[in-house]
Structures are given as structure tokens and as C-alpha cells.
């Protein structure tokens, strides 16, 4: 009980005003774990160098970071290797492929966004036949063009993939096989597409993984009299009930942190608010579980892409490009740091829409949202509270965060 309060101090930065994301100490919250349903296989091609730049899939999808990467882990790798670890490659690790990375000081600048926010540069064109044009580009790195927009995005976790109804933040990959092929050609800079004998085992391996928070520093074993942790997730049926039903039994626990987690789960499923102007979802009264409805997983049960305003011009940091997007039919414009789904569908109406992601193992992999703009889960909850006028009391905000930290 001596740790009471420690979990409350994480994440004190306001992402809207602070360029450098300060990361909470994940170990304070507890630890996560992965179940390998077909065994841990360190020889799987997922862990092998498949291209020309020494990277593996695990360079950016690390078991210790919930199969994503965190700024803290990246900073440690940078310091240990003087910025030469394979994750630091200009192709997509740097702010621009043209960035100078020939000295240590130059590498600190080139990889500044990766080190502070854990984001990689995804280069994507405006698709042929789009009903919009990118009419202006304000890129601090002077690289982005209509043929290749620079979009800085967090690695989605390569785990719990049984529950993914669409792949990538913008839904652009139809299958895990196409995803693995494109990741090898892009991130790993392979000269040719990997053979089926490589792709098949990668897909089988990543599809066998289940990851969740396992131990909470104060609540203890998350599967003790409850159904948190990765083992229960591995057998989770993708059927009703909707929302989360992990911690109901803890509502009357003697342990205050367990009660907080149980109450946070109730808030997530049951606290109603007006969901308005979230393009992609009709206006309605709902809860967190309206969008994050996949039982005990938090993705959406169908492919759902929603605009929460994360990429809006008003939230833009000067360290990322800003794009002016013009609808061809009527000249309407909008400005965004990332058109999201619109680059997959070619539709102006889809600008700023991103997929509803899974919510397990969150504490292992800050920062949050596609652009890493929320340093900690407190910032996520505060953003929703403002965005939808939920008016959560400070104790309710803390309990909701405690629940998210126990996923």
C-alpha cells in the first residue's frame, strides 16, 4: 500500500502545449505479459533480418513494449548505440529520408520525433482518382510532396490480432500477409518481396500472440478473482456481452486500487455522454464502449474509423507537417496533420478518420493516439472529457485511468 499515489502522478504534461512528450514510468503501474499460444519461437522470421538495413519486425514491435515501442526504450537504445541501432534509419525513423545522420549530434536531430513520441514516418501518396487534392504543404523538413506525404505514426501492436477487424491506422492493408510483405519492403528496405515461406510463418506467429497487463503494482495479479491478464484474453470469444467484463468481482474488494479499477470499468461501459461530430459515427448518446465495443478487447466489432480531431490543425505541433486538403467538387478545404482514412479511400469526407484500436496492454506502450500526442493515459481521459463534455469528476478520471492501466 506504500505505493498509493505513485500511479496518480504519471503524465503531467499537456500534449497541446508541450512538444516533448514526457513518459510515465511504466514500471510504476505494473507489468504486462504475452501468451504465446503456439510457443515462443525466437527463430521465427519475425525476429530475422529480412531486408538491407539490419532491422527485424521486432525492431519496432518489441514484446517488452507490448509489441510496439516506447520513447523510453528508444532513448535507451539510442544512448547504448550512439544512435546507430537499426531502428535509427533515415528511411522512416528520421524526420525526413534526406536528414543528415552522419554525426551523433545530427542523429539526435534527425531522430528527434522518434525519440520524443515514438513515431515513424509513413510516406503515402494521394491516391489516384481521389475527390480531393493536397493544395498546400507546410513541412518543417522540406520533404513531403503530393506524391509522398510524411505522416508520423505510432506502431500499432503486432499482437491480439485475432480481434483486429482492419489493419493499420488508415485500414490500407487488406491482410496480414500483404502487411508483412509491405513492412519488409518498406521498413526493412528489402530489394524484393519476401517469399511465402517467410510471410506465412510471420503471420502465424503474430496471430498466436495475446498481450495484456498482468500485474498491477497495487492491485496485484489481475487474474486473481477477476479475468484480467493475457491468459483469459487468449480464450476470449468475440461475442456478447459488449464492453469490458473483467473486474466486476472487484467492486467490493478490500483493496482500494481493485475497487478503483472495477469502478473505472463501470465508467467505461456505463457513463453516458453525447457523442457528437465524431465523423464516422452517427451522433448519439453513448459510452466509451460505443466505439470500443469488442468484448474485453476494445477494438470495434466491425471496421470503424472515427475522426476524434486528433489530426486537426488546431492541435498541430510545429514539429510535424500541416496539409491543406481541398475537395475538388466545391473547393472546400480543411487542414490536417494526417488525412488518415482519406488516403486509403480517396474521399475528402474521410479526412482525419482513424481506426478504433484495441485497448489491451496499454500501460506497456505509451504514448497514445496515432500520433503519440497523449503522453499518458491521464492525457487520453482528459482529452475525451473535454472533447465530449463528459464532466468526469477528478476521482472518476483517476478510476477510469486505473482501469485503462489494468488492461
Instruction: Provide the binding-site residues for ligand HEC, judged by CB under 6 A.
Output: 46, 55, 57, 59-61, 92, 120, 122, 153, 155-156, 158, 161, 164, 167-170, 176, 179-180, 183-184, 187-188, 202, 206, 268, 275, 278, 281, 286, 288, 290-292, 306, 308, 310, 354, 356-357, 359, 362, 368-370, 380-381, 384, 400, 404
What the block records as the C-alpha cell of 139 is 513541412
Is-contact 358 294, C-beta < 8 A?
yes
Q: From CA 265, how far away is CA 114, in angstroms rounded?
A: 32
Nearest approach in angstroms of CB 167 to ligand HEC is 4
Nearest approach in angstroms of CB 319 to ligand HEC is 17
Nearest approach in angstroms of CB 69 to ligand HEC is 8
Nearest approach in angstroms of CB 213 to ligand HEC is 12
Name the residue nearer to ligand HEC (CB basis): 2 or 39. 39
Nearest approach in angstroms of CB 329 to ligand HEC is 26
Instruction: Please tell me the number of Cα atoms within 13 Å of 136 on its side-chain side.
Output: 7
Name the residue nearer to ligand HEC (CB basis): 247 or 368. 368
Residue with cell 491478464: 229
What the block records as the C-alpha cell of 10 is 504519471
Name the residue nearer to ligand HEC (CB basis): 137 or 185. 185
Q: From CA 368, how far away is CA 386, in angstroms rounded?
A: 17
Instruction: Please tell me the number of Cα atoms within 13 Å of 65 on its side-chain side.
Output: 24
- Kindly give, in sequence order, each residue whose CB lies less than 8 Å from that of residue 178, ignoring residues fewer than 6 positions away: none
Nearest approach in angstroms of CB 359 to ligand HEC is 6
**Peptide bond just before 367 cis, omega within 30 deg:** yes
Nearest approach in angstroms of CB 296 to ligand HEC is 14
Name the residue nearer to ligand HEC (CB basis): 81 or 328. 81
Element (H, E) at 76: helix 71-81
Name the residue nearer to ligand HEC (CB basis): 196 or 225. 196
What the block records as the C-alpha cell of 64 is 517488452
Name beta bridge partners: 121: 152
Name the residue nearer to ligand HEC (CB basis): 118 or 229. 118
> Could you tell me which of 332, 234, 301 has the C-alpha nearest to residue 35?
234
The CA distances from residue 75 to 297, 374, 378, in Å, are 30, 18, 22
The CA distances from residue 307 to 31, 172, 280, 310, 370, in Å, are 31, 16, 7, 7, 12
Name the residue nearer to ligand HEC (CB basis): 225 or 277. 277
Nearest approach in angstroms of CB 1 to ligand HEC is 26
Q: What are phi and psi of 395, to 5 degrees?
A: -65, -40
Name the residue nearer to ligand HEC (CB basis): 229 or 372. 372
Nearest approach in angstroms of CB 331 to ligand HEC is 26
> Could you tell me which of 324, 323, 325, 308 has the C-alpha nearest to residue 373?
308
Name the residue nearer to ligand HEC (CB basis): 57 or 113. 57
Q: From CA 29, how far away is CA 7, in angstroms rounded?
A: 6
Long-range pairs for 171-177: beta carbons < 8 A, 24 or more residues apart = 171/303, 171/305, 171/341, 171/344, 171/355, 172/124, 172/343, 172/344, 176/203, 176/206, 176/207, 177/203
Nearest approach in angstroms of CB 182 to ligand HEC is 9
Name the residue nearer to ligand HEC (CB basis): 195 or 328. 195
Q: Where are the beta strands (DSSP E) in 22-160?
A: 30-36, 120-124, 132-138, 149-153
Amino acid at each position: 500500500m506504500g505505493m498509493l499515489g505513485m500511479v496518480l502522478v504519471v503524465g503531467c504534461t499537456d500534449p497541446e502545449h508541450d512538444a516533448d512528450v514526457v513518459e510515465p514510468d511504466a514500471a510504476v503501474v505494473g507489468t504486462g505479459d504475452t501468451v504465446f499460444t503456439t510457443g515462443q519461437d525466437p527463430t521465427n522470421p519475425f525476429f530475422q533480418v529480412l531486408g538491407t538495413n539490419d532491422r527485424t519486425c521486432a525492431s519496432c514491435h518489441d514484446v517488452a513494449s507490448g509489441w510496439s515501442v516506447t520513447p523510453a526504450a528508444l532513448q535507451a537504445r539510442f544512448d547504448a548505440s550512439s544512435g546507430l541501432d537499426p531502428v535509427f534509419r533515415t528511411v522512416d525513423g528520421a524526420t525526413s529520408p534526406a536528414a543528415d545522420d552522419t554525426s551523433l549530434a545530427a542523429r539526435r536531430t534527425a531522430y528527434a520525433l522518434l525519440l520524443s513520441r515514438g513515431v515513424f514516418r509513413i510516406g503515402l501518396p494521394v491516391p489516384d482518382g481521389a475527390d480531393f487534392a493536397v493544395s498546400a504543404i507546410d513541412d518543417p523538413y522540406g520533404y513531403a510532396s503530393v506524391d509522398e506525404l510524411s505522416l508520423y505514426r505510432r506502431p500499432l501492436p503486432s499482437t491480439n490480432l485475432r480481434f483486429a477487424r482492419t489493419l493499420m491506422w488508415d485500414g490500407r492493408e487488406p491482410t496480414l500477409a500483404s502487411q508483412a510483405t509491405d513492412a519488409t519492403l518498406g521498413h526493412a528496405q528489402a530489394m524484393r518481396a519476401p517469399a511465402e515461406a517467410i510471410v506465412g510463418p510471420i503471420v502465424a506467429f503474430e496471430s498466436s500472440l495475446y498481450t495484456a497487463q498482468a500485474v498491477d503494482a497495487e492491485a496485484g495479479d489481475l487474474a486473481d478473482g477477476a479475468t484480467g491478464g493475457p491468459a483469459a484474453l487468449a480464450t476470449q470469444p468475440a461475442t456478447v456481452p459488449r464492453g469490458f467484463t473483467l473486474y466486476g468481482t472487484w467492486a467490493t474488494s478490500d483493496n482500494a486500487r481493485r475497487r478503483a479499477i472495477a469502478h473505472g470499468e463501470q465508467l467505461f461501459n456505463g457513463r453516458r455522454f453525447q457523442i457528437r461530430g465524431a465523423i464516422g459515427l452517427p451522433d448519439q448518446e453513448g459510452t466509451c464502449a460505443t466505439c470500443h465495443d469488442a468484448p474485453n478487447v476494445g477494438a470495434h466489432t466491425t471496421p470503424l474509423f472515427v475522426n476524434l480531431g486528433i489530426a486537426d490543425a488546431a492541435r498541430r505541433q510545429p514539429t510535424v507537417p500541416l496539409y491543406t486538403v481541398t475537395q475538388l467538387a466545391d473547393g472546400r478545404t480543411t487542414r490536417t496533420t494526417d488525412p488518415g482514412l482519406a488516403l486509403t479511400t480517396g474521399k475528402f469526407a474521410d479526412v482525419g478518420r482513424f481506426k478504433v484500436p484495441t485497448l489491451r496492454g496499454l500501460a506497456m506502450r505509451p504514448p497514445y493516439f496515432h500520433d503519440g500526442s497523449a503522453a499518458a493515459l491521464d492525457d487520453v481521459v482528459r482529452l475525451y472529457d473535454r472533447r465530449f463534455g463528459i464532466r468526469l469528476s477528478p476521482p472518476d478520471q483517476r478510476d477510469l485511468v486505473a482501469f485503462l492501466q489494468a488492461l
